[in-house]
Structure 1
Amino acid sequence: MGSRVTRLIRNFNLENRAHREIGKAKPKIAPRHPSTKNNEKTITPEVSKTIHEKNESLLMLLKTVYVESKDPPVKPLQPKKTEVEERRPLNVTLPPNSYGISEITDVPKGKLSIVEALSALNQHKREPKAWSPEKLAKEYSLDLKDTKALLEFFIPFDVKIIPPKPKDTKQIEDS
């Protein structure tokens, strides 16, 4: 029902509005810069004639040009040589049947599993002096720069506890 009403309003007097838009004066063209006005007057009829006529000597030179292109030979695709990544065993013990995480036994050097990242963050939060970024980097085979960034920007344990309201606060009663 609403679409019919909106269609009627939208199409009301459409033809007259279209003719009014078409009949409006066209916008003026921006004036030319004074430096370009001189260039238009310099083209004389003789110059335009020489521009548009065929030059036989240039045409013969163009016909003598022969371009030959060759594609480079296609090499068959070879699988990339797989570099053996250095791997290290997990530093944490996982409870059995923890949603498929226990299947992971080792991790590439320079990377962390989720469980290791959480345990490293927890260790650093509990004892920041004992578990410094340098020690965590050495323990988990990480770059020091990456370890510092992990400790600075990844904060999953930032819990804010809102204290409960005291019971002796006065409240406005509805009457």
Structure 2
Amino acid sequence: MSNMGARVARMFRNFNLENRVHREISKEKPRAAPRHQADLSRSSGGSESAETAELVSQKNAPLLGLLRSVYVESKDPAAAEASQEVSMETEGARRPLRFSVPGGHYGLVELTDVPRGKLTIAETLKALGSHQRQPQTWTPGKIAQEYSLDLKDTKALLEFFIPFQVHIIPPKTQSAKQIKAS
């Protein structure tokens, strides 16, 4: 049934199609809007505007030669300083390992040196443990100097990285069961 409906719709849509097309084509085309007086005076200027357009479109050989002889080299002062810092860091880009955990055959590959500004997990735990036990001796400045770190990174490490901290919450009532240490 739906196929029949489509055929009927197509018949009505295509009815008298040729006549409608010819009628639309034979209509007079719409005219363009009239130009503004200022535009007319500029375009009808004649020789002046034509000469100007011709001069603009021509290639000027002496000017092209001068343009090709110009060489512009720009430098970013911040990038120059950064490249000097990088070259200074690459001279001693790695530092010897301060502390390592003895590993077995199935452990990680034994490291001998670490990039500056980085720590191994063993060094991190050693530094954090030293700072927890003796905060007056192991200050953030001393840890940063010892392990070749930035001071702000060291302060952030000591503030936010807290390993193995156990909190024992006492029960609210005395009758509550507790786990006894053996």
Q: TM-score, normalised by structure 2?
A: 0.48
Q: Which has the larger radius of gyration?
A: 2
